[in-house]
Amino acid sequence: MKTVLPMTLLLALAGSQAHAIERYQTMRMTCGEVQSVLQNEGAAILRWQSRNGSNLPRYDRYVVDSRFCNFDEFTRYEGVPTRDNPACGVYKCEQAEPFDGRIFIPY
């Protein structure tokens, strides 16, 4: 009986589908569509071409809120270019700075 439960759990996990994160080209979407994707999926890879003359592809993982970040990360507001907005507001997970031991006393 002790080996049946782990084997059943292993088979159940092996049979389930992995949820892959979707990738989107922001310049083909409106700002509202980008924000709707994040609202519906929680997180997505957003891609666009750099406008600084190099035309290099730019991309990163963006989230709807901090629930989709690791425990040691926080959300930072950032703008990505879309078809109708050069700086559509989205959130990105950023690594938190390690605590240095100093005490912060708010005024």
Give the H/E segment covering residue 43.
Answer: strand 43-49
pLDDT at residue number 104: 55
- For the four alpha carbons of 32, 34, 36 and 38, in that order, the dihedral sign comes to negative
- Which residue segment(s) compose the domain that 48 sits in? 20-95
pLDDT at residue number 52: 79
pLDDT at residue number 31: 98
Geometric angle at alpha carbon 58, from 72 and 39, rounded to 5°: 55
Q: Say if 42 falls within a structural domain.
A: yes
Q: Say if 38 falls within a structural domain.
A: yes
Q: Say if 46 falls within a structural domain.
A: yes
Q: Say if 2 falls within a structural domain.
A: no
Structural domains in the chain (count)? 1
In angstroms, rounded to a whole number, what is the distance separating the alpha carbons of residues 98 and 63?
22
Q: Say if 9 falls within a structural domain.
A: no
pTM: 0.71
Instruction: Give the pLDDT of the chain (107 residues) as one tens digit per residue.
Output: 555 555 555 545 444 445 688 999 999 999 999 999 999 999 999 999 987 778 899 999 999 999 999 988 999 999 999 999 999 999 999 998 776 666 555 55
Q: Say if 29 falls within a structural domain.
A: yes
